[in-house]
Structure 1
Amino acid sequence: MTQPSLSLVDTDPAELAVDAIVIGLHSQPDQDGALLPAPGAESITAAFDGKLTATLALLGATGAPGEVTKLATLGTITAPLVVAVGLGDEPSGASPELETLRRGTGAAVRSLAGSATVALALPLPDDEDAPRVLRAILEGALLGGYRFAGYKTKPQKGRREPVTALQVHVPDAADEAAAAELVRAEAVGRAVRQARDWVNMAPNLLQPAPFADLVQAAATEAGLAVEVLDFEQLKAGGYGGIVAVGQGSEAPPRLVKLTYTPEGVTDPKRVALVGKGITFDTGGVSIKPSAGMWEMKSDMAGAAAVGATMLAIAAVKPGVAVSGYLAIAENMPSGSAYRPGDVITMYNGKRVEVFNTDAEGRMVLGDAMARACEDGTDYLFETSTLTGGQVISLGKRIAGLMGSEEATTLVKTAGDAVGEPAWPMPLPDDVRKGMESEIADICQTNANLDRAGHMLQGGVFLREFVEPGVEWAHIDIAGPGYHSGEATGYWTKGGTGVPIRTLLHLVETL
């Protein structure tokens, strides 16, 4: 679905000719929870002659984070509707927490589906933090208003179309720093929406070849160099992990490499991004329970994130050389599927004893990571919906994070900055010892079929495919990559686009 247009305005918010205007609302614990309009809403508050907060309170507003309360203005201001979004307790600093602001903006814009033009008059500090706060507002607005187009043949009764134009009130619409944040937000919004679209597509319409074709088309249009390896090329090239996983499906696998080279930069740092692209995961011969299996269309969320991040990188043009690797396959049971007990020779020559064909993600990733190291890189960041152990350990919002100390610190810092938290986990020696094979270099899972430290087993296995000297991190997004509940904040139901904003922030930081 088309992204809404985005613009900066410095007209008095009370005079903006829009369908609705969004303001922030705080609670004041030391004033018995009395409501306080957030900075940016001064002229609107004045137009209501001091009665705005009292009226919002009568409508049930409390100022709780993400709470949305709508009030018809009846001509009090130019916009016919004021939407107050809760931003929590009055902040001690100049503005609320960035993630609170990001989620609140997303909730407000999503609630205004059916409105053509919406203005945001939310708190912006007049200091060096202004660009970061503006970034949070812009991203929340663009991501919260997303909706997957879907496949319905008839219009839904009562379905309201998302907002088509967003105006963000700033002190000076001609400010260069603010304009730069708007351009960046548009690139991020397009990337996240693209990844969400890919993840939300029906798996019969996004098998490996069509997925690779879509990525190739988008990357070519963005100016990226593209290399696609088909099934025969993968077999000839020795990509044993991708071939093994993909050989059970009539839809053969692909490996896609996207390359961004900065202009005018001598000897740039090199970054590799690697994503798991299992377009549907039945578990293969080790078949999954049928309950909820339909969500396994999202098992390519890591590859979607890497592909979309490369599109954003092409737009923002950082001074870093970045390559993206998408390991794409469909994991199906058939007479040609790989089996428990098989020994697979991976791209880097290591031999893996297979115990569970449902641990297929690490097989395709191992090949892609080895290829990335062979091509040459200083940093390798890999992301995947890899293990149910991540969800059990850290829930649906916090990614699992494993790897070298420098790389994991970079990821955690970036994730905290953009609202995509990740928590560092260890890679213990005893977990590696439990994956020793009597006949191969390593077992694909614990040799005793022990699920203890299941998430850590994935990280330990992937470490085998990283060359010495490469700083690397594995980001397990089994939970955060797909949101199965009702829309909340700037997350809508389905693909989330995590960790695109983290990866982009990492590249920009480097």
Structure 2
Amino acid sequence: MKIAIKSFKCTDADVTIIPVFEGKLETPNEEITKTLTRLESRGQFKGEFLEVVNFTRNVENNLKDVIVIGIGKEEDVTKEKVRKIYGKVQKKANELKTKKVFIRAIDTNIISLEDIIKASVEGFVLASYKFDKYKSDKKENIEFEISIGGKHIGDDKINELEGYLQEAKSLAEATIIARDLVNEPSNVIYPETLAEKVETLGNEYGFEVQVFEKDQIEELGMKAFLEVARGSKKKPKLIVMRYFGDKENEDKRLGLVGKGLTYDSGGYSLKPNDGMVTMKSDMGGAAAVIGTMVATVKNKLKKNVIAVVAACENMISGDAYKPGDIIGSMAGKTIEVLNTDAEGRLTLVDAVTYIIEKEKVSEVVDIATLTGAVLVALGATTTGVVTNNCEFYGDLDKASKISGEPVWMLPAFEEYKNLIKGEIADLKNIGGKHAGTVTAGLFIGEFVGDKPWLHLDIAGTAWADAVGEYNIKGGTGTGVRTLYELAKIR
């Protein structure tokens, strides 16, 4: 679905969307206010959060739709609630099969007008997403034309706000790119086609892409990555994306590493069937960093960002690695493989070593659908974080509050590191049944040296099992907007 943002001035819209606070049902239109007052007196509408009412009105002998949505109490409004509000009204507008929409921006001092505009657009655009390309009975795609306005938006603010609006639109579209990558089945997106897709995006948006083939990966000494890839007939690809938006400070480089398991069977530590069905999503971290690169370049951030994806499949064959094997790594550390389904961290450590040693990044973030343990600890709403730098985490926390994607820092005490120390190798790839998310993160941390580092475990947040206000079932694109905001801060 394409959404065109026209201006901040009211047009001849087919539908007008009006948000109202609970207990404050006044609107700039006297007729609409009377209707809401009547509905309130009947107990049919109070303005509670996500409460929706739809009616028609006669405007110069033309019937026009009005969608009124409750914001809830004004003192409780947040940017995330704004996203959900406009996500819900997008779906209502879609039901009405309307094409021209006028959105009255929320008028409040609790959140800045800039943040309201950004959150409104993000919620509306993200809610428009659907993944039905393989269905024969596709629903019609409605091409919306949206105007956003309000009496509280003066002409002097329009040009400034237009920039925020376009930034929000590009962020939502980059998130949708990530969602598409995650939702594609593994017979469509595998290492080779993922690399081709990134090359296409690089050409379209203007960032450099270099793809390393298997023999080049061998020359780099990425032994852990190659061990995971051994069982598949599909050859691994190391995908490197580069953008230098601040050439005056070229030594300051933010490194992003995304887990790129385009399919994960678990290897010889085989997953049950139910656990394999959604494993096309095991490259959610890769999708996040790819989407971040698109957003970074599209918005011309004055930052240097480099992203790396070690793309492969984790499969079973006569050549696949096995529990009990001792393998090497690009950093020279040896690893005892106790579980072949703890494979993502093996690909990540070589990717992290590569981005630090070869791309000379000054700080690094890895993002991965890494552990089921993070779902046990934090559920499907919050991304778990392990770090060696509290200041870096502080900036991530700020970024997450802007994006609406919650994060939570987990402990990284020395005692946890003892759980991954090897008995017959330097390290073992699992730390036992306790603190699985922490030990998985700290395993990667063994390869970052003294670089500021963040590990984001999105196993609970990269995939949705239920429809939300601006999510569908499937890939969420989690991480794109947070990493973009982090890049802006850093």
- CA-based RMSD: 2.1
The 1-side partners of 2:230 and 2:385 are apart by 30
The 2-side partners of 1:20 and 1:246 are apart by 52
Query: What displacement does 1:123 show?
Result: 0.8
The 1-side partners of 2:340 and 2:254 are apart by 30
Alignment of 1:462 with 2:444, yes or no, is yes
Q: Would the alpha carbon gap of residues 378 and 266 (structure 1) be closer, same or farther in structure 2, given more than 3 Å must change?
A: closer
2:401 to 404, 416, 420: 416
The 2-side partners of 1:193 and 1:49 are apart by 37
The amino acid of 2:18's aligned partner reads I
The amino acid of 2:361's aligned partner reads T
Aligned residues: 483
Structure 2 match to 1:42: 28
The 1-side partners of 2:37 and 2:345 are apart by 54
Q: Among the aligned pairs, what percent are the same residue?
A: 30
Structure 1 match to 2:222: 239
Structure 1 match to 2:210: 227
Structure 1 match to 2:377: 393
The amino acid of 1:461's aligned partner reads F
Q: Would the alpha carbon gap of residues 126 and 421 (structure 1) be closer, same or farther in structure 2, given more than 3 Å must change?
A: closer
Alignment of 1:339 with 2:334, yes or no, is no
Point out where structure 1 has 5 or more consecutive residues left out of the alignment.
29-35
Segment of structure 1 superposing worse, 170-179 or 130-139: 170-179
Matches within 5 A, 1:430-509: 430-446=415-431, 450-468=432-450, 470-485=451-466, 487-509=467-489
Are the equivalent residues in 2 in contact too, given 1:373–1:467 (CA < 8 A)?
A: no
Query: What displacement does 1:179 show?
Result: 1.3
Are the equivalent residues in 2 in contact too, given 1:385–1:478 (CA < 8 A)?
A: yes
Are the equivalent residues in 1 in contact too, given 2:183–2:281 (CA < 8 A)?
A: yes
Are the equivalent residues in 2 in contact too, given 1:4–1:166 (CA < 8 A)?
A: yes
Query: What displacement does 1:227 show?
Result: 0.9
Q: Would the alpha carbon gap of residues 17 and 444 (structure 1) be closer, same or farther in structure 2, given more than 3 Å must change?
A: same
Task: Provide TM-score, normalisation by structure 1.
Answer: 0.90
The amino acid of 1:83's aligned partner reads I
Are the equivalent residues in 2 in contact too, given 1:283–1:331 (CA < 8 A)?
A: yes
The amino acid of 1:5's aligned partner reads A
Query: What displacement does 1:341 show?
Result: 1.0
Structure 2 match to 1:32: none
Matches within 5 A, 1:232-381: 232-262=215-245, 265-267=248-250, 269-374=252-357, 375-381=359-365
Structure 2 match to 1:137: 120
1:21 to 16, 24, 41: 16
Structure 1 match to 2:133: 150
Q: Would the alpha carbon gap of residues 77 and 263 (structure 1) be closer, same or farther in structure 2, given more than 3 Å must change?
A: farther
Structure 2 match to 1:164: 144
Q: Residues 450-486 of structure 1: CA distance to partner in whole angstroms, max 9, x if unpaired?
A: 2110111111101011021x1110111111111111x
Query: What displacement does 1:128 show?
Result: 8.8
Query: What displacement does 1:504 show?
Result: 0.6
Are the equivalent residues in 2 in contact too, given 1:18–1:78 (CA < 8 A)?
A: no
Are the equivalent residues in 1 in contact too, given 2:213–2:237 (CA < 8 A)?
A: yes
Query: What displacement does 1:125 show?
Result: 4.4
The 2-side partners of 1:155 and 1:58 are apart by 41
2:85 to 85, 89, 104: 104
Query: What displacement does 1:254 show?
Result: 1.1
The 2-side partners of 1:161 and 1:133 are apart by 26
Are the equivalent residues in 2 in contact too, given 1:199–1:297 (CA < 8 A)?
A: yes
Q: Would the alpha carbon gap of residues 478 and 127 (structure 1) be closer, same or farther in structure 2, given more than 3 Å must change?
A: closer
The 1-side partners of 2:390 and 2:174 are apart by 28
